[in-house]
Amino acid sequence: MAKTNYTVARVQTRTKDSIGKYERHNERKNEHYANMNVDLTQTEKNVHFKSCGDLTYNETLDKLVADGKVSLRGLKVDAKVYDEMILDVNTDYFEKYGGYEFATKFYESAYRFAVKLYGEENILSAVMHADELNIALTEKYGRPIYHYHLHIVALPVVEKQIKWSKRCKDKSLIGTVKETIMQVSHSKKWKSPQLTDENGVPQFDRNGKPILIPTYSILQDEFFEYMQGQGFTDFIRGERGSNAQHQNVLQYQIAKDKERLANVTQKLEQQETIYEINNDVDMMVHDIESAGKKTLIGNRTLSADEYNKITTLAKNSYVAQSELKMLREENRKLRSRIWDLEVHIERLEEQLRKLTELCKPYLDALKAAPKKVKEFIDSILEPFRRQRAEQAEKLQHKPISKSKEKNK
C-alpha cells in the first residue's frame, strides 16, 4: 500500500532572549548540533527565500522599530515577539517527485503562503533546510536522502489605531484616531474565532463558554488549501483536531533509533540465518574439502573452474562476515543509546514530578490569592535583599589598602 503524504504547518513563539539559539540552528551558525543528522557538508544547498543579511534577528527587529515600521509599545521586556513557522511534508513526497529541485519549487510557493499571511516586510528569515539526513530512508534507498522543510521567522504584526484620550486639551479630538501603528501582537494576530454550526449559530460548551476554533488548526487548513491551489497535490492535510504535542528532541531521537534498530535487527537475523549449518551447507563444505586432485607430496591441484568457485565463495564469505560484524556493532550501539536516552528522560520526568509536588501548594495559593502570596514572599525575601544591598554598598566604599595604592 502506498504511503500517505501529509502537510504540517505549526507556529512556535519566541522571545528576544530565546530567539538566539533558534537563529543559530536556522542559519547554521553552530559548529555542532543536537540534531545528529545535520550534515554540514550539504549546508550550502540550504535555500534562503528571505534573509537578515549580516544582521541578527534581534538587530533587524531593533532597526524596524527604530524606523517606525513596527511597534513593541505596551509589551513587556520578556514578551514573545517572534513567530517561528515550520512548513513541512514528509520526505517520501519529495523523493517521489524529484528530490531537491522539486522541494525548492514547493517551498518557494510555501514561502509565498507565509508572505500572504504575514506580509513580506514582517518576515525576517525564510530558509529551506536541505542538509538534515533522513536515516531511515537513506538506509532504505542505499543513498543519502535529506528531509526538506522550511523555517520562517516573522513578526505577528496587526494594524492598531491609537485614539486621543480624554486628557486631550482639544475636546473635539477625543475618541478620534491619533495615529496608526503596526503593533506586534500574538493575541490579535492569532485570535481564535468562535465555532458555529451549519446554520451559523455560535456554539458554547456546557459551562456557557464560547467554543473556539484553534487558530493553528485553521493555519493547517489554509496551508493545505493554498498548496493544492498552487498545483501541488498527492498529499493530505495533517491530522485534524489532534491534541498531541510535538515530540521533544530526545523522544524523537528515541523513536528514530528504535526504527533503525528494528531494521538493523532484521538484517542481522537474515545474515545469521545464512550461516546456520544445514544439509545443503554441509554438502557444499564437503565439496570444497574434496575439490581438486591430491598430488604425491600431499598438495591439491584445482581446475580453473574449481578455483574460481572457491575464491568467489571466500570473497562472498568475507564480505558477509564484515557486514555481520558491522550490523552487530550498530545493533549494540543503538540499544545502548536508546537505553541511555530513556534513562535520562525517566530522571528528568522524576525531577519534574518532585518539583511539581514541591511547588503545588505555592501554585495553589498563588492562584487563590496572588496578592497575599506576593506580599508574603516579599516579606520573607526582604531581609535577604537588604543584606545583599548592604554588602554591595560596603564593597563600593571599601578603602583601598596601602599595598594596592603602591601598585597603582
Torsion of Cα atoms, 71 then 75 then 80 then 82, to 10°: 0
Residues 216 and 281 placed together within one structural domain of the fold: no
Residue 184 domain flag:
yes
Mean pLDDT (whole number) for 220-238? 87
Of the three residues 246, 269, 286, the one that is the final residue of a domain is 246
41-45, 85-89, 191-195, 291-295: the lowest-pLDDT one = 291-295
- φ/ψ bin of 241: left (φ > 0), alpha (ψ from -120 to 50), beta (otherwise): left
Mean pLDDT (whole number) for 288-292? 63
Residues 238 and 265 placed together within one structural domain of the fold: no
Maximum distance among all alpha carbons in the chain? 126
Residues 303-338 pLDDT 10s:
777 777 777 777 667 666 777 777 777 777 777 677
Q: What is the pLDDT of residue 240?
A: 44
Mean pLDDT (whole number) for 19-25? 92
Residues 116-157 pLDDT 10s:
999 999 999 999 999 998 887 888 888 899 999 999 999 999
DSSP 128-186: EE--BB-HHHHHHHTS--B--EEEEEE--EEEEEEE--TT-SSGGGTTSEEEEEEEE-H
- Please give the share of the chain, as a percent, with pLDDT higher than 90: 27
Rg (CA), the chain: 33
Residues 34 and 163 placed together within one structural domain of the fold: yes
Of the three residues 246, 278, 295, the one that is the final residue of a domain is 246
Residue 72 domain flag:
yes
Q: Binning pLDDT at 50, 70 and 90, where does residue 204 land?
A: confident
Residues 24 and 94 placed together within one structural domain of the fold: yes
Q: Binning pLDDT at 50, 70 and 90, where does residue 408 land?
A: very low
Instruction: Tell me the pTM.
Output: 0.58
Amino acid found at 83: D
Q: What is the pLDDT of residue 121?
A: 95
Residue 403 domain flag:
no
Residues 204 and 318 placed together within one structural domain of the fold: no
DSSP 347-368: HHHHHHHHHHHHHHHHHHHHHH
Contacts of 311 (CB under 8 A, 6+ apart): none
Residues 183 and 41 placed together within one structural domain of the fold: yes
Q: What is the pLDDT of residue 281?
A: 41
12-26, 44-58, 116-130, 390-404: the lowest-pLDDT one = 390-404
Residue 351 domain flag:
no
Number of structural domains the chain divides into = 2
Closest C-alpha among 330, 328, 331, 309 to residue 320: 328
Residues 69 and 163 placed together within one structural domain of the fold: yes
| 209 or 47, which is more confident | 47
Residues 109 and 11 placed together within one structural domain of the fold: yes
Residues 112 and 196 placed together within one structural domain of the fold: yes
d(CA 61, CA 154): 10
Say yes or no to pLDDT of 28 above 70.
yes
Residues 45 and 175 placed together within one structural domain of the fold: yes
Q: How does 156-178 read in b/e, with b if 16+ C-beta sit within 10 Å?
A: bbeebeeebeeeeeeeeeeeeee
Residue 371 domain flag:
no
Q: Which three cell numbers stand for residue 115?
A: 508572505
Q: What is the pLDDT of residue 329?
A: 76
303-312, 327-336, 359-368, 392-401: the lowest-pLDDT one = 392-401
Domain assignment of residue 241, given as a range: 7-246
Of the three residues 246, 273, 300, the one that is the final residue of a domain is 246
Residue 324 domain flag:
yes
Strand partners, 48: 127
Residues 330 and 202 placed together within one structural domain of the fold: no
Residue 29 domain flag:
yes
Pairing relationship of beta strands 80-89 and 123-129 according to DSSP bridges: unpaired
Q: What is the mean pLDDT of the chain?
A: 78
Say yes or no to pLDDT of 364 above 50.
yes
Q: What is the pLDDT of residue 87?
A: 93
CATH code of the domain containing 164 = 3.30.930.30
Residues 221 and 271 placed together within one structural domain of the fold: no
Residue 390 domain flag:
no
